[in-house]
Amino acid sequence: MSSSLSDHRTHSAIHSLAADQAGQELQGGRDDGDAVALDGETLSRANVFAIAKGLRACYIPDASWERVRASRDRVEVHVTAGDVVYGVTTGFGKLSDVNIAGDDVEQLQVNLIRSHAVGTGDPFPTDVVRAMLVLRANALAKGYSGIRPETLQLLVDMVNHGVHPVIPSQGSLGASGDLAPLAHMALVLMGEGRAEYQGHVIGGGEALRAAGLQPVRLRAKEGLALINGTQAMSGVAVATVTEAERLGLWADAAACLTMEALRGIISAFDPALLATRPHREQEEVAARVRSRLQGSQRVTHQGDLRVQDAYSLRCVPQVHGASWQAWKYADDRLAVEVNSATDNPIVLEDGRILSGGQFHGQPIAIAMDLLKVAAAEWANISERRIERLVNPQLSGLPPFLATNAGLESGLMITQYVAAALVSENKVLAHPASVDSIPSSANQEDHVSMGTIAARQARQVVHNALRVIAIELICASQALYLDKAENDLSEASRRTLEFVRSFAPPLNTDASVSDAIAALADALQSSVELP
């Protein structure tokens, strides 16, 4: 269940994890080592991603525990008084008008989790599952959910001990929370369902025991508090936004290497020119390109070889910049979401328990749909640069970058592969958030499909990374055939060295399929560009 582009199986080394790395189990408000505080207010995407990858542990700070206990006390007051509270002393959804007897309040929560855990499809990757656990714990730590401290602590312990519920990836409408996915998560807290522990999928109760943990018996409101939230879509979004940032930076770097290979015109990136249309992101892209190409003897100026480049080179600041604008919007929305209470009902500090729509995933759904388009565009323009590299009528280089064209096909089919990937992205980029199917006997008559949008966005990003890998390989081969390595900028030489560690120059036909996959994996995981 790894998030690697080429490996979707669990790596047990990842799952020894944060508890071992932190040195000991994290309890209560104790901050050991490099652990991340889950206080419901300050959690960053970067820290969620680090915990999701097993690089850091997490804990609940003392101030948050005080809010959690106070919130729980408010729930107990209402339960003791026999007040009518949605999901506490009533049924759910369309059944909210059915009153629940006091003796059945706890069984109601257990039944909720069991009945809602009906997801289907392949399990979420491990990094997404870990992000879901972290994000749900962080939302509960805000103190608006009425969860008991021991239930919240078990969520944190599961993260730090590497107990990962097996959560099917399909089945959420993205409103009323990610009900089905989060119910599968909650099953394991109850000692039911299935979980992965140290590379093996076993029963949820067995996984907890193996990690030295004990399941909880859910009390009033706790089942609802665990599943009414946007943590499935947000968990996918954390990984997607992080990987999309790397995609965007590598798209800029790939464009630079192609500029070197095709002797692109740097004049189009002049800061005075860009300032006449002052979109900040396009100026940032142009500045990165100028910096990476500084010192190059390959790039040209307007009129040296030609007056204008094709759009796929000349319009890099405008196209890449627009994608960066969309990325920043998605990142901003996610920053709010990861520190939000997405329950229903919400336990307010004044003692009221109010029903609302805080669980609705529309903000993330639209953000992920927008990110799909942004990532698809990074790939679209990259594929056009690939075509310019392999097409002799456009490049002036040997046909398809072959050393003996005709007898050899060179990198001809890499452009086919890139074309297939960008075409697939165009289908995936259709917005999920404009769709809605009513549920719960039309009580829940508008839903976000945000989890679908997030899942599709991550696939688009992964496809786009493969396209960028192909462009880098083609640009590398073009520079090899043109014997131009010594004329590159320092940054381009570093990029070229990085690419060739996965895809050495071709002197005859050979499959580069494995090289594309390995390089795409490296682009996805690289924190800094060479």
DSSP string, 440-463: TTTTB-----HHHHHHHHHHHHHH
Give the span between the Cα atoms of 351 and 87, in whole angstroms.
16
Side chain identity at 41, as an amino acid letter?
A: E
What whole-number distance in Å separates Cα of residue 229 and Cα of residue 341?
A: 8
A 10 A CB-CB count for 399 gives 16
Alpha-carbon span 480 to 484, nearest angstrom: 7
Phi, psi angle pair for 38, to nearest 5°: -100, 95
Please give the span between the terminal C-alpha atoms of the chain, in angstroms, as a whole number.
29
> What counts of helices (H) and strands (E) characterise the chain?
20, 9
Show the tokens assigned to 349.
Answer: 């500090």
Q: Do residues 524 and 481 make contact, with C-beta atoms less than 8 angstroms apart? A: no
Of these residues, 86, 144, 197, 480, which one is catalytic? 86
Catalytic residue flag (residue 86): yes
Burial 308-326 (b: 16+ CB within 10 A, else e): ebeebbbbbbbbbbbbbeb
Helices (H), 263-361: 271-274, 280-293, 311-314, 316-337
Rounded distance between C-alpha atoms, residue 320 and residue 286, angstroms: 9
Give the strand pairing for 36-37 and 120-123: unpaired
Q: Torsions phi, psi of 303, nearest 5?
A: 95, -15
Q: How many residues does the chain have?
A: 530
Whether the CB-CB separation of 314 and 306 falls below 8 Å is answered with no
Distance of CA 131 to the CA centre of its chain: 9
**Could you tell me if 150 and 348 are in contact, meaning their C-beta atoms sit under 8 angstroms apart?**
no
Supply angle C-alpha 326, 329, 330, rounded to 5.
90
Q: Give, for 194, the enclosing helix (H) or strand (E).
A: strand 194-197
List, in order, residues 6 or more apart from 523 with CB less than 8 Å away: 246, 247, 250, 465, 468, 469
What is the C-alpha separation between 127 and 363, in angstroms, rounded?
22
Q: Which long-range contacts (CB under 8 A, 24 or more apart) does 192-197 make?
A: 192/114, 193/117, 193/165, 193/166, 194/165, 194/166, 195/163, 195/164, 195/165, 195/166, 196/1, 196/10, 196/15, 196/126, 196/163, 196/164, 196/165, 196/166, 197/15, 197/162, 197/163, 197/164
Q: In what order do the strands lie in the sheet with 200-203?
A: 163-165, 194-197, 200-203
Task: Show which residues are catalytic.
Answer: 86
